[in-house]
Each structure stands twice: as C-alpha cells, then as structure tokens.
Structure 1
Amino acid sequence: MMKTPNKTYKSKTAALLDDPYLQNYRTSIERRKELIDYKKKKYAGSGNLADFANGHHYYGLHKTASGNWKFREWAPNARKIFLIGDFSDWKELPEFELRRISKRGDWEIELGDEKIQHEMLYKLKVYWDGGEGERIPAYTKRAVQDFNTNIFSAQVWEPEKPYVFKHSRPEAEEPLIYEAHTGMAGEAEEVSSFIHFADDIIPYIAGCGYNTIQLMAVMEHPYYGSFGYHVSNYFAVSSRFGTPEDFKYLVDKAHSFGLRLVMDIVHSHSVKNEQEGLARFDGTIYQYFHEGEKGNHWLWDSFCFDYSKPEVVHFLLSNCKYWLEEYNIDGFRFDGITSMLYSHHGLGKDFTSYDDYFQGDTDEDAFCYLALANELTHQINPKAVTIAEDVSGMPGLCCPAAQGGCGFDFRMAMGVTDCWFKLLDIPDESWDITYLTRELLNKRAEEKTISYVESHDQALVGGKTAIFTLIDKEMYFNMHTGSENLIIDRGIALHKIMRIATVFTGDSGYLNFMGNEFGHPEWIDFPREGNGWSYKYARRQWSLKDNQNLRYRHLLNFDNEAVKLAGREQIYKFDPCLLHFDNQDKVFAVKRGELVLFVNLHPEKSYEGYGIECLPGKYEIAISSDKKFSGASKG
C-alpha cells in the first residue's frame, strides 16, 4: 500500500428511493413508513418512545420510596401467582401471593423491607387452568445457576454500594470492531470472567488499534454452548461471567481506553426452556411468541417473538433502554434479523429479486419493531451505534424511518466473507478478481456497511477459520520461525492480503473476531456431551502470539499495522475508487484518500514496473505484506 497526497472525501448518503429499481415498490415503502408512524403514536402517544420503554421500571422487583419492596409481573393467562424463595423457605405462603391489578394481566405484591434482602434467591409459582409451573420473572435483573442441580433462580440484586461509572462514553468514530466473547477470552480451560476481560483483554484490544468492542453472550443463557444466542433472561447479565457490578466495571474499563462497547442483542428469538425463560410463562405459548409454526424456529430450536403485540414491543424496547442506561453501553449489534424480517426466516431462500423483500413473506411488524428500536436507541444516546446482521440484503435497513427505512447505522457486509471463503475452496489460479473486487466494493448507495474476512461464525465447530482453511494440519508442525514450508508461506501471505484488502476496501468499518488477528488455530467448540464437556476449544491461546519461536506474532504485527493505519488515516471518511483490475494478471488497485492499495494474487508471478495510472506525485510504502516483522525470515 502506498501513500499519496491527494484526498477525495466521501459522497453524501443517498436516499432509499433514489434507487430506480425501487420505484415499483414505492407503495410498499410508503406503507412501511406509515405503519412505523402509526405504531409509534400508538405506543408513545404524544410523548416519545423513551417514555414508553419503561417496562423495567414498572415490572420486576423494585425498592419503593418508602423502603418497601414492590414486585409486578405481566401474566394474562395466570389464575394465581406466588413469590417463592429463600424468604418463604420456598413455600407458597399467603403473604407472598400476588394480586391481579388489571384486566390486561398485571399482577402485584408489596412487601416490607425486612422480607427481602440482597442476594436472596426467588422465583414465581404460576398457576393457570389445567397446569402450573415455576418461572423466573420476565424482568429479572439477575439469574444464577445452582451448579449442583443446574437449576437457575432469580436473585435479588441491591448492593449497598452500586458501581459508579467514572468514565464518559467515547466519541463516535468509524468502527474498527474487535468481536469478543467473555467466557472464552482466557487461556485456561475454564469459563473466563468479566473482570479478567476488563483487566487483561481490553488493554490488548486497545493496543491493537481497534476502537470498538462487540461483546457476545452478555444476556443470560442457560446453555453455555449456545454462544449466548439462546437467551432466557433478557435483563440479566450472564452470571457465569460475573455480577452486574463486574460488567459495569468492564464497560467503564473499555471507556477508560477510549473504546466503545457494543453488545450483541438477541431479539430475534428466545430459548424454549420453560423454567428459565419466557416459554409458556403463563401457560400459553402465545404470551410472547407466535402460536404454531410461525412461532417455532425449527433450525434454531427456539421460539419467535410476536412483534404485533404491544406488550412484546414494550418488553423488547424496554430491554434496549435498560442496557443503554443501566450499563452505559454504546449500542447494539442486532443478531439474526433476517429471521425476524421474513416468515420463512431466510431458511433455504435465495434473495434474487426485489420482490423477495416486499411481498407477503415479509413480517412488517418485525420491520417496524426494528425501526422503533433504532429510533429509541438514538433518542437515548445520539452517539450510539446500531448494526444489522442480515443475510438477505433487504434495501432500507440503514435508511431513516422517514424514508421508509429501518434506521440502522451499519449493516454487516456478509457477502465479503462469503466471497473470501468461496475463493479459498478453489485453486489460486482460478480466482476471479472481478468477483472479488465487486464483493469488496459493492454496497447500496444509501447504506453504510462493515466488512470482515471472518467473524465467530466461520470459527465454529464444523467450519474452519481462514488460517486453518489455508494451512490445516501443517499448522501443528510448521509454524515455527525456521520452517521451510510452502503451505505455511502461502497461508501467511494470503492471511495478510485478505485482511489488508478487506480493511482498506470496507465501506465504513471493519470487524475481526478475537484471536483471528494472529491466526488462532483450530475451531471453537464449547463444552458438550459430544466432547466430554471439554473447554479445550472454548478458550484463546494468547501465548501463541507471544512465543518468539512461532510465526503467529508476525500475523499479529501485520494486523496491528493495518488496523492502526486505517484509524490514523481515517480511511472510512473517503470513498474507495477502483483504479485497476485484471483477471489474467490477478491484480487490482484501489485508491482511498491519500492511500493506494495494490494487490497481487497471482500464485506464481511477482511483477516489477507494473503500470497502473495514478495521480503524479511522490509515493512511499505505508505497509507491505512482504515486510519482515520481528526478525521473521519470511513475511
């Protein structure tokens, strides 16, 4: 990559209907806009969404102004409810029976201060016609597991000295994202903690040049191996990593290093567990979820929310507000929104026509919910960032609701990683540079995207990371600095090229999953019966990057150089311009701001004096994948 003094600033964002192909769908787009406005007025009235999204202040367990405790729950199909717990010796006592206070199904109880104490365990015992069951309150702010019985209970969390944030939120920047998972962030074969992540991993991330952490698996989930995607308790941090105060410390620590913290938020589906989650909470499936097949995600083995119900929207919007205000986070990456947006959940569906986005398969209630969630998030924190994970490519996700869009700040450029891994499956000489450059640079004019070579998805058991796809078993034997191995040399070279090309051509941001910056070996596999409940593959072997005799450190050094260059030059403020590509030569060149990227992917030829038309001036090499790092004999 070379540096030149010329700059070209990024053009203004286009409007959704500037796309001439969308003119045929103007009626559908206008209808969505009207539906968003209608629902906003329905929920917020003459006020705003932030006033509506206060379910967490009303429901659940709270201290009153008088010092007593008040608990409320929404359970319309219930016939009788008791609070049971340490305070009642887990018995259904008359003094702990809730009373129904509204026709819509709200229940309430008020108890004296002496009855409830910090860290007590409790649940609800819910009765309905023809059945009964123990339930964890929907708005509980902490749930803990008894590791002898594996049973979860709600826990009273009212510390005498709650954590006080010391650092303000960092200013918004074009995101250079480090995707991470707290539990597998340690090297020991165990579940790591919020405190370890804060003290040991956050300084490392900052030192690597990233400015944003995207943290997975924050919300409580009963099965560790779900990677945090089978959520049970939406207002509770996962207790296996620490306490609410520990997570606040982690967020504050990130802010102290100038890092923003964006959390994965899973509003696309919910775990089917009845005793831990929302499933059949009041004896019905349809309280929070659709009935029948519409409410069943057969592939994920989970239930799908009914976004047409005001109570469900109230619950989910309140959840957004809670995380922003209680934990001072900087935004959300909304997971699995393809599943939300379509009745077919995107399963087995190829999106080949604009009809696929605007016909009967689209769940417009879900689209409206996402638009309201985006508006609420930015209303509470104007600097917040929202990211959409969508494989369908629906137009308008990153357009304002006023244009009939959904209001996300960014979407994941999922076609980029698909492109790289498709190319890795074919011989080098067959790589299509036209296809590659199109995927690297292609985006809708009105949207901002975040590119990545690989995320956690590519590393899960059954798949392979980029480095393992490139090197495979040779990684076990020939990653030492003195190795003479063409497979290793090729793998390291391509690993570097893939990253610098993706960082440099990304529209508005870049993402890397924890450990991939130094080519972490093997896959991710959480403890389960099939692997003997082993943590061997549910951790990060950080010592590999520090070993002076191994070549992982060369990959890390290059990644650090590339990410820091992107941040220092603020490359995402400028539009990328494709200067040249040649399928036969396997060469392409892209200009961005003061930088020009030259990429040679030919498996045999190294070019000298290769002619590409650029502006006249003096150029110098800013970064090179051939450069030797840290005494390496090879790049």
Structure 2
Amino acid sequence: MTTLPPEILDAVAHGSHHDPHSVLGVHQSGEGWVIRSRRPLAREVSAELADGTDVALSHVRGGIWEAAVDAYPGAYTVRARYDDSEHVADDGYRHAPSVGELDLHLISEGRHEELWRVLGAHVRELDGSAGTAFTVWAPDARALRVIGDFNGWDGTGSAMRSMGGSGVWELFVPGIGAGTRYKFEILTRAGQWIEKADPMARLAETPPATASVVTETAYEWADDAWIAERSRTAPLDRPMSIYELHLGSWKPGLSYRDAADEIISYVSAQGFTHVEFLPLAEHPFGGSWGYQVSGYYAPTSRFGSPDDLRYLIDRLHQAGIGVIMDWVPGHFPKDEFALARFDGEALYEHPDPRRGEHKDWGTLIFDYGRNEVRNFLVANALYWFEEFHVDGLRVDAVASMLYLDYSRNEGEWAPNQFGGRENLEAIRFLQEVNATSYKRYPGIALIAEESTSFPGVTAPTSHAGLGFGFKWNMGWMNDSLQYIGRDPMYRSHHEGELSFSFVYSFSENFVLPISHDEVVHGKGSLFGRMPGDHWQKLANMRAFLAYMWGHPGKQLLFMGQEFGQMSEWSESRGLDWWMLDQPSHAQLHSFVAELNRVYKDQAALWSRDHDGAAFSRLGAPAWNPNVLAFARRDHHGNTVAVVCNFSGVPLSDFPLDLPEAGEWTEVLNSDAEAFGGSGQGNLGSVHTDGRGSATLTLPPLGVLWLHHRAGA
C-alpha cells in the first residue's frame, strides 16, 4: 500500500498538484518499482508491460491506482474497465519531460531564438508513443492543466508538471494530434481557476471562438531562388514600391489560397514590388484591423490554415513579389482569454500601470525588461521570418514604445533610472530584435512606424542606433498631404511644406507612406483630399504620386488609392472596384502601373535613396514657388530630373538649368492624354545648351520625369 500522504494524493486526484509526475507514472520504490495511474470511476485497472505481462493495479485513493513490480516496466499501457466499457491507453505520466534543460536555461536567460519549437503544443513521438507535448510559461501559477476536446474540457486528469524555477509547465498527452482544440486552465495565487489560450499557439479557432488548436506543417517551400536572391542585396539598394493591403476587405471572401492568384495578377500588373499586409496574427476584434493581437504566433484562421498562408507567400515569391507584414509588439488587448494577467498576475504586461497600460487605446504594454517577455517578442519576429519566409516586418507604433510619457500627462508616467523619458528596456528590445533578425536573415527589412525625431532609428546598433532598416517618414506624409490639399491658388505661399523634407531626407532610411491611417476616421480618401473638380482632383492625384515616387525614399500606397477610390476605406466592406469602369479612374490606374514601371527602370530613383550626394535641388522657390524640381543620380552617372508644376495653369517656355548638358528624354508625363491629362509636355525629349539650360513646357497640375543617360 502507498506511503504517500493523503493530501498529496488528493491534490493529484483533483489536478491541483504542481508536480503530478512525482506521484503518477513509474517510480523506484526500495529495490523495485511502482506504477501509479489516475483512473477515477474505474472498476478494474491493469498495466500491460513491455514484455506482455499484465499487472493488476489496486485502488489507493481518489481514483489513483498502483501496483508494485520487480523490474523497470518499460513502455506500458493502462487498461481501465468501467461498468459498460473498457479503455486502453498509454499513460502520459510515464514519459520524461519533453523540454530539455538547455531550453529551460535559454528561456530563463531570454535567449531562446527558436522559442516556438519548445513552447506551445507540438505533435511528437516520445518513447514509441505518438501524441502532443504541451509546454507553457506561467511562473506565478500554483497548478496548471490542459483542457480540450480530448478530455471533455475537464482538466483534472491532465495536470501539468512544473519545471522548477524556469516557470515552465509541461505535459505529454498520448494519442492526440493536429486539430485538437485546447486551452490552459491555471490555478492562480489567489486560488482561482482561469482559462487561457496558449500564448505560443500556432493556430487558433476562428473568432469569436477563442480556443487554441494543435497544428503541424507539411508544407514544402518552392521559393529557394527568391530567398537566395534576397540575401545577396540590401533592400535599401533595390526598388521598393509597396502596396499596403487589408486582406479581409481587399476582395471580401477570399481565403489565403484564393487570394494568391488574385493578388499576384493584380499586383504584378500594377508593378508594385512588395505587398504589405495589415497584421495577419490572430486577433479577436476584426475592427482593430489586426492591431490588437491575441495570438502572436498564430496566423488568423479567418482566411485559412498556417499552411494556406505559407502557400500565399510562396506563390507571391515565385511571382517576384516581396511580402511585408505589420507586426505589433507595442501593445496587446485586455481580453480575458489571452495574454492579460495570464497566470493571474501581471506577466506579459508591465506590473506598474504607468508603464503597463495604454489608456488611449485600452490596451496593455509589454514588460520589455523581463527576459522571458523580451524573448517571446524577439522569437516572434524570427518566427515570421523563419516559418513564413516574410521579407519584412513593419513595426507598429514605435514611438509609443520609445517614450515613457507617450500620450500621458504629468504625474501619469514614471521616469527611467536616469530621470529621463526614454523607455530604456524597450530601446534594448528593439535593438535586439533588429540585430538578431538581420544576422539570421540577410536581405530582410524591419521598418519602423516612428513619428518623432528620435535619433538613429535606422542607424546600426553597433553605433547606438535602433538598427531598423527603414523608418516611415511621417513628417513628409503630413506636410505633403497638407500641401496637396490646398487650392492651387494658395500653394505658392506654402512651398516649404513640400521642400522641407529635403532638409532631412538622408538623416534616416525612409519609406514614404500614404497608408491606411490616412483614409479612415473621417479623413476621407486620398482622392477626396484633392481640391477642384473631378478632372482636377485626378490631375492632382497623378501629380502627387509622381512627386512621391520621384522623392528620395521608398514608396507605400494603401489599396484603393491607385484607382482613386472616392469613399473612405472601411474594413467591413470591399473596395469600390466598380470605379474602374469609369474611364478617368481606369486611366489613373494605368498611370500608377506606368509609374511603377518607369520607377523600376530608372535606377537613379532608388539605388541611392540614402545618399545625399546623389540628390540636388533645381531652380529656386522664389523664382516660381509652384514649381518644385530636383535631380536624382545613380551609381553610373545616369540622372532623372523630377519637375513638378503644382499650379493650375500650364507654364510655357519655362527656363530650368538641368544638371547635365545634352539630350533629356521625357520618360513620364503625368498630364499625358493616355492618363486622362491635357496632353501638354515636351514631345518626348528636351535639349539643353552647353551649360545645361533648357526651356520646358510644364503641364498644369503635372509632373515630368526627364532622363539623361551618362555620356549622352
């Protein structure tokens, strides 16, 4: 008969013991061994040993049965007979831990770069038994269980064992695999059982359901050539024209797989080099557009399985289109089933509400100074690069991470250890995620949405920078949209709104964004911001986009703006594709395709985006403040002059000194009749005198791109 204390047996029987494996399974006892198994309500229980011997177990207490054997029993199964049935199964408690000491050490140190391979739910074979290993970090829990459809959502028989000071809990459940729905049931310090989805789940139920789902992948990638080519050059030195897309409302009803052909056909025809998806990590509320994430490692199941997303990205790569995904490490929602107070205490969030809560957004802020939390986020970035082959991550709301007083009044924030407002832990986290990502995946891009003048966002971490590859140029975006929204009659007084960006264009590596944020919350569409009648609005659109594509930096345009959608974007409905039936909007659509084609052909517009020596202003604002002209040069001496006339009237015989003498070819005219313009321009080429002076015809609300070939 067992010598274990009743209170231990009762805790194990009720699934509230922190180490049920210390009681259940196989244990040495004196010179022999003892087998214990929990089989409540059974009438008889026996164990069939590896050598075929059948050993009867005796009931001890609370549904726990045991038997003594002389030798180690090896792999065995437990047979339980009930009044009207019989159940034979492997005993999960006989197995050694599925997580190793090195893994636990790396987790505690915050240095496990492939955390997703250890934590979460993994289909495995242990000691000849197929099943699923569950592992979760919950250091404040008193006990922890797995609940799911495999046990009727009753976790008393699926208690996990604590792996000591690491805070990790583990259990191998034989006989279950992919498709199993589950959650963790956690006994808090306060003595309350709470149910939580797996933070490391790689698949979740489709919202509003909230369970995690066991998954495994068998996907075979076919984008080796793309990855190899990607690793040979830096994104800064390549053309980058990004089409930002919300998958749920681009063409509603498409799955990941359905979307592949549709997106490839459309984006290829439009000439964009990259697609940027608004967040595709699992999120409970569709109206957040994916920016309030509950499952950081789970692609949203709204559009299919993780392998379906792999298929979409793989197909895009094979078609020569890069993939950027929005990533949200700055905050997470308070939904009770997810990360908030995960084990009953502040765990993923900072415990001090002055650092752990965004009141404006109703969300929580990660505790960037905690090793395991920082590791969770760093590994998550690596997960998307490793498991889904994404080419870049656009990091949302970086400014909110950098400053402790972000959107806070006096007295609502706590300074750092030096008395400053910078969040030093968040800064170190950003430096780590950038340095680690670039080290492991050459050729990728990490892009900061950062709206302040914080220095060195794209400077390397070795020079105390944050280490991003690019930063969204929010100043350019605000100033240029303000300018282009003015009536042309008054633009001459505001030339600085367009040209001020040239002062700092090379202080960081910039992306010029006209993003989803500019077409929501009452701002209307880009088309709607333009002044004038319908023709003038479209002319302003073409001129603005040609100026944008010619400006130093990469480009990003949100879906629908390429054909001049007139209504404000809403995630609840699709784009107004019917507008392409209107000839004038179809012409704008064609113009954007031509814009991308010529842009990619002209290396001067992208090969030296970071080099101020490859840029020069042409003319003088005081001469004609409605005309903005500048030149870009590539590594071989080829030059593109961008000449913008933002006034509403054509300018004939306009004098302009170009940086090279000889012949210049008009490679783009936003006022061409083919694009719905008035057809004014320079009939294909411009000749200068020996000093480079030219006389141009500038179309109204029009932009010209003039190309000069080195030596011509």
> TM-score normalised to the size of structure 2?
0.73
Kept after mapping to 2: 8 A contact 1:551/1:632: no
Matched with 2:353 is 292
Aligned equivalents of 2:461, 2:587: Cα separation in 1 = 45
User: Would you tell me which structure has more strand in proportion to its own residues?
Assistant: 2
Give the deviation of 1:415 after TM superposition.
Answer: 1.1
Alpha-carbon spacing, 1:418–1:305, altered in 2? closer, same or farther (3 Å)? same
Of residues 304, 317, 323 in structure 1, which corresponds to 2:365?
Answer: 304
CA contact (8 A) 2:110 2:375 kept: no
In 2, the alpha carbon distance for the partners of 1:162 and 1:380 equals 21
Q: Which residue of 1 aligns with 2:91?
A: none
Which residue identity does 2:521 align to in structure 1?
A: V
> CA–CA distance in 2 between the matches of 1:181 and 1:559?
19
Distance 1:44 1:598 in 2: 60
What residue in structure 1 maps to residue 277 of structure 2? 215
Give the structure-1-normalised TM-score.
0.81
2:605 equivalent to 1:542: no
Following superposition of structure 1 onto structure 2, how do residues 445-460 of structure 1 map, counting pairs within 5 Å? 445-452=506-513, 454-460=514-520
Q: Does 1:132 align with 2:193?
A: yes
Letter of the 2:652 partner, please give it. Answer: E
2:298 alignment partner in structure 1: 236
1:379 counterpart residue number: 439
Q: What code does the residue aligned with 1:156 have?
A: V
Q: Is the 8 A contact 2:277 2:326 kept in 1?
A: yes
The match for 1:162 among 210, 214, 219 is: 219
Corresponding residue SS for 1:93: helix
SS in 1 for 2:504: coil
- Which residue of structure 2 lines up, in the alignment, with residue 488 of structure 1? 534
Instruction: Give 1:290 shift.
Output: 3.9
State how far apart, in whole Å, the 2-side matches of 1:290 and 1:627 are: 60
Q: Deviations over 1:488-534 (max 9, x none)?
A: 11111111111110110133x111111211112211223xxxxxxxx
Separation (CA, whole Å) in 2 of partners of 1:174 and 1:620: 21
* Cα separation, 1, equivalents of 2:104 and 2:145: 32
Aligned residue runs from structure 1 range 11-30, under 5 A: none
Q: Give the C-alpha shift of residue 345 in structure 1.
A: 2.2
Query: Does the 8 Å CA contact 1:163/1:245 hold for their aligned counterparts?
Result: no
**Aligned pair partner of 1:201 in 263, 271, 292:** 263
Distance 1:581 1:196 in 2: 52
SS at match of 1:557: helix
Q: Is the 8 A contact 2:245 2:558 kept in 1?
A: yes
Q: Is the 8 A contact 2:135 2:171 kept in 1?
A: yes
| 2:649 counterpart of 1:616 | no
Question: Given the alignment, which residue of 538, 547, 554 partners 1:501?
Answer: 547
**AA matched with 2:537:** G
1:162 Cα deviation from its structure 2 partner: 3.3
| Partner Cα separation in structure 1 for residue 307 and residue 131 of structure 2 | 23
- With over 3 angstroms needed to count, the CA separation of the structure-2 counterparts of 1:523 and 1:630, relative to structure 1, is closer
CA deviations over 1:464-494 (Å, ceiling 9, x no partner) = 22201226xxxxxxxxxxxxxx611111111
Q: Secondary structure at the match of 2:121?
A: strand
State how far apart, in whole Å, the 1-side matches of 2:220 and 2:250 are. 23
Task: Work out the number of aligned pairs and report it.
Answer: 546
Trace 1:577-588 onto structure 2 (pairs within 5 A).
577-582=616-621, 584-588=624-628
- Match of residue 332 from structure 2: 270
**Match among 160, 168, 173 for residue 111 of structure 1:** 173
Bigger CA radius of gyration: 2
Structure 2 counterparts to residues 2-13 of structure 1, below 5 A: none
SS in 2 for 1:249: helix
Are the aligned partners of 2:110 and 2:372 in contact in 1 as well (CA < 8 Å)? no
1:586 shift after superposition: 1.0
- The offset of 1:250, in angstroms, is 0.8
Trace 1:63-212 onto structure 2 (pairs within 5 A): 63-66=123-126, 67-94=130-157, 96-112=158-174, 114=175, 116-130=176-190, 131-145=192-206, 150-158=208-216, 161-167=218-224, 168-169=226-227, 170-171=229-230, 172=235, 173-186=238-251, 190-212=252-274
Measured at CA, do residues 163 and 439 of structure 1 come closer, stay the same or move farther in structure 2, by a change above 3 Å? farther
**Whole-angstrom CA distance in 1 between matches of 2:206 and 2:647:** 55
> Which residue does the alignment assign to 2:499?
438
Inter-CA distance 630–437: structure 2 relative to 1 (3 Å threshold):
closer
Equivalent of 1:332 in 365, 373, 393: 393
Native 8 Å contact 2:132 2:177 kept in 1: no
- The residue identity in structure 2 corresponding to 1:542 is W
Give the C-alpha shift of residue 429 in structure 1: 2.4
AA paired with 1:155?
V
Say which SS state the counterpart of residue 177 (structure 1) adopts: strand
**C-alpha distance in 2 between matches for 1:423 and 1:347:** 30
